[in-house]
Structure 1
């Protein structure tokens, strides 16, 4: 017989033994073939694997996007930093350019003021002034021992205000006086320009002639060329080819001789032109680029005997002229201003010429 203690122990172990016995019993579902149940499990497993793979790929994509974003931000920071540095450099450069322009403008004004003071000291107040939209023209009377004449200081505010005008706008013509040329073009100032020759009863310009950027004659290149470029600056000297004319960007030009000054230095006077007095037409420019026109009368006893080119060089240097040229003189020399001929041409009347330089107000 079992003792009470044994019975007690059996009662305690009975649940455990029952569970163990249950677990040792064969699973009633094992061996039963249910295809749908197996396929569902397989489908779930596959879907799970696909989801896991998708999540993995998305994590990789997110990681790549984060990496690219980081690189883009770094590049953007570099670009912004570079752009900021470039902007600062640009602003600094602009400030320097503005400073240079300001200094240049002040120097130009100072130079112009000095020229005005110099001319006022040497010649007195202008006898005529025109403040036009395209140019500022000041006229002075010139009176020296042995000769008289007139001169003009011209500041172009529009480079197109200065032009070379052919007589009647033709290469071969009967000629045209300076006052006629000025009147039909609306000029405030005009002087005769290049030399000319007569052939078959017609007058032709000699040397190189340029009108509104077009080379209309190109003959004797041994002459001095006198022209104005696209900026209205006086250019010229020894020009021997069409390429030279194009290189100088000449818009207006004519020819005669000789060259008197280059960069403030006297140029040699040809022997056959040396130390002879004649009426003269001269052109040049001051340090600041303002243009200079001068006509000296001659061959008129009691009024003006004319001037030698050597004397003219000295006078030009006194006026602080940098570059200067001798234009056609003698009976051709004519100075027109504001509707009148101011000088006294040596022929007693104006001579018909082939080219004139005119200034529009």
Structure 2
């Protein structure tokens, strides 16, 4: 009898431990089931509902503006990616076609601004973004500047410092193979002081341009070289899209805003003032970026009657006198990227010597990947 009682006492803890195990695995199984069901519900929403599809395309658009464009195919498929890029190209072309009829009226004594009052900078904030808006009161004080030495681009801060400019922003795009380009080969046209410094289009081709004529009126949209010369072009680069023309916005909503990214935008008010908008991005906790609809609305709110996109992403910089950064670019390179062009503000632009660094070079002579 005593031995049977002892056996029961000795087996009791073992039995208790055994009874605990089924409960533990039931909890694990329940958690796994919750994860699976939640994942299936999320994927169903993400891929098969209107709101989920909207988010997928917003994420895809953001990726399209980066060096990781190929990743967008995992959100919208390879054909979806190709169609999206083609749709934007068509949309941007159409946005540049309407005839611009805006006129400017420069205030009396516009050219007499003291250096400290010629420009002003204010901060702008919105959902997910932070940036800066620089106003240049006299548009005739702006000049396009190019790199000093052949073979690679130049940081905007360096351009500002060596030329004695009062301020500057990045301008046009450039050939960027594997997203490691040297910033020396522009895309399309580069015109400064009415002279063509670089022509990657051909003699009779047209392109979307952003720039100023000799009277300080901003030009943006699709033009041929012949048309630009007839209009008295002074400074210009190729870029797109034009987002405001004749005082009206051309981008309907955020869905057509080409994703969230760092941005640089140029616009003009009726009094001739030039607005340069720089939005920082790709920095969690500070500023993710803005889409083109955000930028359009900021420009409209500040009185722009015409506005157009300039090169953005990690190229977006705003520089003050002396070459110091005002914004926080997303570029891995300190002080921003090496670029082919910048719009700089001068007290006397005509006194600035800007040699043509591409003189004697054909586009085919330039290796945009070689440092």
For this structure pair, what is the TM-score category when the shorter chain's length is used for normalisation?
0.5 to 0.7
Structure 1 counterpart of 2:119: 137
Alignment of 1:37-52 (within 5 A): none
Q: Relative to structure 1, is the Cα distance of residues 156 and 203 closer, same or farther in structure 2, using a 3 angstrom cutoff?
A: same
Q: Give the TM-score taking structure 1 as reference length.
A: 0.59
Q: Relative to structure 1, is the Cα distance of residues 276 and 201 closer, same or farther in structure 2, using a 3 angstrom cutoff?
A: closer
* Counterpart Cα distance in 1 of 2:107 and 2:143: 24
The answer to whether the 8 Å contact 2:251/2:293 transfers is no
Q: Relative to structure 1, is the Cα distance of residues 279 and 226 closer, same or farther in structure 2, using a 3 angstrom cutoff?
A: same
Structure 2 counterpart of 1:242: 225
Q: Relative to structure 1, is the Cα distance of residues 269 and 247 closer, same or farther in structure 2, using a 3 angstrom cutoff?
A: farther
1:162 maps to 2:142: yes
Structure 2 counterpart of 1:263: 246
Structure 2 counterpart of 1:356: 342
Structure 1: runs of 5 or more not aligned: 1-103, 113-129
Report how many aligned residue pairs link the two structures: 233
* Counterpart Cα distance in 1 of 2:341 and 2:216: 18
The answer to whether the 8 Å contact 1:223/1:258 transfers is no
Structure 1 counterpart of 2:158: 180
Following superposition, the deviation at residue 218 of structure 1 comes to: 2.4
Bigger Rg over Cα: 1
Give CA-to-partner distance per residue, 1:282-313, whole Å, 9 cap, x none. 10011211111110000000110100001111
* Counterpart Cα distance in 1 of 2:325 and 2:183: 25
Task: Point out the structure with the larger strand share.
Answer: 1
Structure 2 counterpart of 1:316: 299
Structure 2 counterpart of 1:48: none
Alignment of 1:235-314 (within 5 A): 235-239=219-223, 241-268=224-251, 274-314=257-297
* Counterpart Cα distance in 2 of 1:317 and 1:236: 16
1:152 maps to 2:130: no
* Counterpart Cα distance in 2 of 1:177 and 1:190: 11
Runs of 4+ off more than 4 Å = 198-202, 220-223, 268-273
Following superposition, the deviation at residue 222 of structure 1 comes to: 6.1
* Counterpart Cα distance in 2 of 1:309 and 1:299: 15
Structure 2 counterpart of 1:214: 195
Q: Relative to structure 1, is the Cα distance of residues 188 and 265 closer, same or farther in structure 2, using a 3 angstrom cutoff?
A: same
Structure 2: runs of 5 or more not aligned: 1-103, 348-371
